[in-house]
Amino acid sequence: MKKNKAALVLILLTVLLLCHSDLECSTAQDSSPYGCYDVCTTFCVQYLSDARRMRRCEIKCGIECDY
């Protein structure tokens, strides 16, 4: 029974460490203006058929993301 508890604790610690390291990587990527701009302009693709609206969306992304 003690081996099962030790194994469970080890697995939980491993999962927590992996999740924590993923969160650090994603926040470091999102904090760059290029990551923000990329995410924002990906949203602008919905205006692909309307060039004027797409350009306005890209300009807003540039302002919002300090690009």
**pLDDT digits 0-9 by tens, 7-44:** 887 787 777 666 654 444 344 445 666 788 898 999 99
Please tell me the predicted confidence (pLDDT) of residue 6. Answer: 83
Asked if 44 and 57 touch (Cβ cutoff 8 Å), the reply is yes
Please tell me the predicted confidence (pLDDT) of residue 35. Answer: 86
Angle between helices 51-64 and 33-44 (to 10 degrees): 160
Question: Is the whole model's pTM more than 0.85, yes or no?
Answer: no
